[in-house]
Amino acid sequence: MPPRPPQDPDLLRRLLRAKDRMDACSHEEWPVERLAKVGAVSEAHFARCFKEAFGVPPHRYLLTRRIERATALLRETELSITDIAFQTGWSSLGTFGRTFRDITGESPGGLRARERAASHAPEAVPVCHLKAARRPKLTIAVSEKRRREAGRRIAAPSTENVE
């Protein structure tokens, strides 16, 4: 298959504008229809071009931003986990907790407790490096990650002795 030609610079500017809006208001709902209006293209074209330009679909990008923001609030504030969930755009505490655990590998409360127990001094590390190191790894869809985890649990033989 021949390599695809680079995207139109005007289209990339519009995609960046939509991405910037998501960054600024990640707590808001950003369905593809709304993003496509910001980018002034059709919904299908927007979703396809966004993934091509940024490496992830728009929804996955938004989830990453919400989890990043929630992680920062858990580390830096005394807000309750419920308040953090609603401030970062989740409509359900259960969905927030499940998605947070799926992406980061630990619960919001577990992350907060671990961070408080840590005795390191992050002030000595540049903020840009801290943010990059703490960025959630969301390279596959959360639902796909759950399916893989379930498949591993089913495929793993039981260690119980059956008599």
**Tens digit of pLDDT for each residue in 32-66?**
999 999 989 999 999 999 999 999 999 999 999 99
Number of domains in the chain: 1
Assess if residue 4 is contained within a domain: no
Q: What pLDDT score does 145 carry?
A: 76
CATH at 22: 1.10.10.60
Tell me which amino acid residue 16 is.
L
d(CA 118, CA 38): 42
Q: Does residue 57 form part of some domain?
A: yes
Which contacts of 106-112 are long-range, i.e. CB under 8 A and separated by 24 or more positions?
A: 108/70, 108/74, 108/81, 108/84, 109/81, 111/71, 111/74, 111/75, 112/74, 112/75, 112/81
Whole-prediction pTM: 0.69
pLDDT for position 160: 52
Residue 102 belongs to a domain: yes
Integer Cα distance of 97 and 133 in angstroms: 21
Residue 163 lies in a domain: no
Q: Which residues of the chain are under the pLDDT cut of 70?
A: 1-6, 119-123, 156-163
Range of the domain at 22: 9-152
Is residue 158, in this structure, part of any structural domain at all? no
